[in-house]
Chain A
């Protein structure tokens, strides 16, 4: 693997991150924001794996594992929140869930 390909992969990873970011900013529905978060998390994952492969280091994959754990936890909490929120608010528009009350 050459440096250029690593650079390309890193650019792709950054693009994934940026796309996920874009999605979080743009989407109004809570579920769609959560999906965008997943995309966002995929970016650093690719970056870690690519860097680890370039150096021949297992730390990249280990980091990916940690990141996976992190993503799983976040999805669990996020979806639970989403379900809870759906009971008492309009979750198709996250802007409306801006008050602490109800």
Chain B
């Protein structure tokens, strides 16, 4: 038991809450379930805050070993660590998680007890898994947390089990992130093979001494895993459909925490990426394209949750840009700010949608300023931060830091900077548009049923998050310095151009409001709204052939029923072996001796049918055979010398 054993206790409350709710006693009532969930989340948040206090006070590279296994010449030493990166990300995750769980107490008020338990169990498990991943000091804990997050995402997206859309969305999310996980695992295993150990610092050190080609391969593999988890191009198709899950799930997983795990991965392995400049450039380009793509498609959305999903793609693209230019600390700062305002946006949008009768399209938000003022104004605060209104919102400070780091990063940085500016403008457009729709009078044809005003459990997180999203700009500088980098100096022209881009976007939103025909053209652009149909291409190129392959391997004819268990890689060896054995049997079954015996045996019926022909039934033929017998007897009698009369 090392001196840092208390570090291992940080994820424990959430995991204990999960165990209680999942496997615990069945006689827990709804209020008790909620209490357990809330305690799990906030106890962990308290422990995390304590850990961050320890870290802030100086000694901030703590290691808490879990256990060590010797495998041949390699030693697998599991451990949790606490360093500035883990502190910042972990605290954010814990606090946002606490807020979201508090909000869901009210949101899930009318759920059945079994569903309630399920929901809070998975939410707590997710928090525990994410904290494990954040504080992981070795690749095994890291991957464990990573996978558990993906699993919880699957269960939580498909929470509403009666909705096939939700299950399909969960499956899609799981499969795509799993694909990325395979790449990540491959990269981690290559590093383990090189390093002979699993500690992350050991892996990074081993990567730095690897030959450059292999290092690039490992970097690309890790990048693939990060991109899939963070829903960047080309693996972004799962995030918009994942909005089929409940709003708290979207708020916690798919805006603030899980989707940023990819950026966290890249930040963790930053020294490795720093040693592969070409991969780093690719990272930055991917981030830039994702941010532009996400922002553009978000403008054309009609559903507020989908808009926020594409917005997440775009914002994480920003983080990836700054990682790509070599400033991961700025990316983490933006991560913190983004977590605050994106979760706020989801929570408030969920509240407003609930007040509008459960509809989540943007047009239904109209009239929310009077129906749900607290939710609406916190939504407005979050949207302002998202848009990055100059100086008064936290989003402005973090985005400026990103733009500054991009512009000062050489010629490639200039291209990135301009692409990021386009994305900033578009972000401001769609954010403002949503706010303006909500400010207008209610356009709903029928009055939605009156719902009770939201309780303190719902409103308190909204207000707190709104305050943080406005005042959080003060945190950006300290975070960056805390993480060990110098605050990027912002060239004046970059700041001015950035502000101009934001204001341009805002005014574009006002113009859209005033010119309805433009708005209707936007509404009719279905192809853009569907993300340029990239998902359909994937469906055609990958999903359908794979399904056909799975059916073929399982021996299911078209439209037939399968056993439900699909195991293509397991079926291929079996089919191969069966074929091989059949060939061998066919070759060996040509038994020569057996053939001879079979022919002999086959002669018997032939002989029998031949000899049956002597049974004619005719008297004369029988007489003839009698004669032959007589002749034989005569011969015997007349030639034999023993007979007496000879």
Contact = CB atoms under 8 A, between A and B. Distances in A.
A94 B620 contact: yes
Interface string A41-61: 000000000000000000000
B617 A100 contact: yes
Contacts of B623: 21, 24-25
A94 B618 contact: yes
Contacts of A71: none
A15 to B, nearest CB: 14
Contacts of B620: 24-26, 28, 33, 94-95
Contact of B616 (A24, A33, A98): A98
A95 to B, nearest CB: 5
A97 interface: yes
A99 interface: yes
B50 interface: no
A88 B62 CA distance: 119
A37 to B, nearest CB: 9
A28 B627 CA distance: 17
A99 B617 contact: yes
B619 interface: yes
A97 B617 contact: yes
A71 B326 CA distance: 131
Contacts of B619: 24, 30, 33, 94-95, 97
Size category, A interface: 10 to 19
B559 to A, nearest CB: 57
B588 interface: no
Nearest to A28: B620
Nearest to A21: B627
A94 B617 CA distance: 9
A50 B607 CA distance: 46
Contacts of B616: 98
A13 to B, nearest CB: 13
B134 to A, nearest CB: 99
A25 B618 contact: no
B624 interface: yes
B624 A98 contact: no
B538 to A, nearest CB: 79
A21 B623 CA distance: 8
Interface string B623-642: 11001000000000000000
B43 to A, nearest CB: 102
Nearest to A24: B623
B617 A25 contact: no
Contacts of A94: 618-620
A98 B618 contact: yes
A21 B624 CA distance: 9
A24 B627 CA distance: 10
Interface in A1-34: 21, 24-26, 28, 30, 33
Contacts of A24: 619-620, 623
A27 B533 CA distance: 101
A93 to B, nearest CB: 10
A24 B621 CA distance: 10
Contacts of A30: 619
A21 B617 CA distance: 18
Interface string A82-101: 00000000000011011110
Nearest to B645: A51
Interface in B592-632: 616-620, 623-624, 627
Nearest to A40: B623
Nearest to A100: B617
A45 B360 CA distance: 127
B439 to A, nearest CB: 109
A98 B624 CA distance: 15
Contacts of B624: 25
Contacts of A100: 617
A25 B619 CA distance: 8
A25 B626 CA distance: 11
Contacts of A95: 618-620
A24 B630 CA distance: 14
B279 to A, nearest CB: 97
B126 to A, nearest CB: 90
A89 B620 CA distance: 17
Contacts of A28: 620
A70 B427 CA distance: 130
Interface string B202-229: 0000000000000000000000000000
A42 to B, nearest CB: 16
Contacts of B617: 97-100
B617 to A, nearest CB: 3
Contacts of A98: 616-618
Nearest to A18: B627
Interface of A: 21, 24-26, 28, 30, 33, 94-95, 97-100
Interface of B: 616-620, 623-624, 627
7 contacts: A21-B623, A94-B619, A94-B620, A98-B616, A98-B617, A98-B618, A100-B617
Given A25-B624, A33-B620, 6 more contacts: A30-B619, A95-B618, A95-B619, A95-B620, A97-B617, A98-B618
- Ranked nearest first, the 7 interchain pairs of A and B with the lowest CB-CB distance are A98-B617, A24-B623, A94-B619, A95-B618, A98-B618, A25-B620, A25-B623
